[in-house]
Chains A and B, each alone.
Chain A
């Protein structure tokens, strides 16, 4: 699909308005019309699939309900350096010679397997929701994001950042924003925003460790180290963030490491350092693999209660303390490790 180069991520009604705009070339109008059709059909199909899965779980026997809630479809689209989402569908992305769609497909599929096998979660919504990723977004775009319904990845500029699909933790980070949206429903401001970002870093790092088969001691606890480009590395920057040492010099964005330094209005990518450090400390104290005990506790705290868009960090900390007790009633050392980790960051 060709794009005019001046487009943004736009609602369907605006796409349709562009499709009717006689001042645009015929090829551009056709492209906008196709994007609008795809957007509408895609949203409809996904809503129907989610409703069916929920209904099947309610009315069918357990074995049939499980069959109805099949693993989610993983779809990849190519923006071809435009900014209209989702872009053109990539057929058989796993076999693509282009690394970006191949990485997006493979690692999204692995994240699905991670959530299902480790935490018993069927996709982000728990009902097998299809997962859509768009690659090659914009030109030399130094970012990846979750837009509320899909993942989007830029190519990086090749200097500061490499292709954003080349990092397993980045892909899991973006997908986890979807998980958070469908569970605790955390907002994106103040303490809830910091928690939201931290949850994505926690599960992003955990997934990277799971893919590498690493223990908590073997893990480097860095976020985004695989997307750092040659210019960034030459200047001593090894990662976006360091969960084990949020204020470290080798971070592109050093963070506060104690709640006493938290202020309302902080960007979520800044305040997330506090709960990030708590998770890292808890996981290191518990030993083994981060996903087997600490990960289960964080997952339970995120998913087991009603949405809380304005949740405070203290509340989440207390949820993990309660989860440690309920999941490991015969192991008081687990609860003690969680408690000590939060206290170390002032919570």
Chain B
């Protein structure tokens, strides 16, 4: 771990410092009342999470999210969905899940941004 970097989280663009190959999950917030990350939206929320720095329980939750069906219903309206992406060999694996299923320390990686 780089000195001064104590959490599992990094805002977008800081992931090159992480040394745990294959343990980085890209995190993106989608939807909500403002329509984060959709279509032509200007507002976005992204970050990177080093899962090797999460607890065993949190890692198990993240792992289980990649096994959920693609369209998990969040219930209600204007809820955020979270897109998780990780490298798997030559390709990538993606999951889109309701925000309520994602551990708080993974969500803490996100930074809301405007261009």
A interface residues (Cβ-Cβ under 8 A, vs B): 5-10, 83, 142-149, 157, 160-161, 164, 170, 173-174, 177, 188-189, 196-197, 200, 224, 231-232, 235, 237, 240-241, 247, 251-256, 266-270
Contacts and interface: CB of A to CB of B under 8 A. Distances in A.
Contacts of A170: 33
B112 interface: yes
Given A143-B32, A145-B33, A174 B103 contact: no
Given A253-B40, A254-B40, A237 B114 contact: yes
Contact of B31 (A8, A254, A269): A269
Given A8-B101, A237-B42, A177 B114 contact: no
In this complex, the interface size class of chain B, counting residues with CB under 8 Å from chain A, is 20 to 34
Contacts of A255: 39-40
Contacts of A254: 39-42
A35 to B, nearest CB: 15
Contacts of B34: 142-143, 161, 224, 240, 252-253, 269
Main secondary structure of the interface of A (DSSP, over half): loop
Interface in B81-99: none
Interface of B: 30-35, 38-43, 45, 71, 73, 75-80, 100-101, 103-105, 112, 114-115
B32, B42, B76, B104 interface centre (most CB from chain A within 10 Å)? B76
Given A145-B33, A145-B78, A266 B39 contact: yes
Given A6-B104, A224-B34, A267-B31, A196 B40 contact: no
Contacts of A252: 34-35, 41-43, 114
B30 A267 contact: yes
B71 to A, nearest CB: 8
Contacts of A200: 77
Contact of B35 (A146, A149, A189, A267): A267
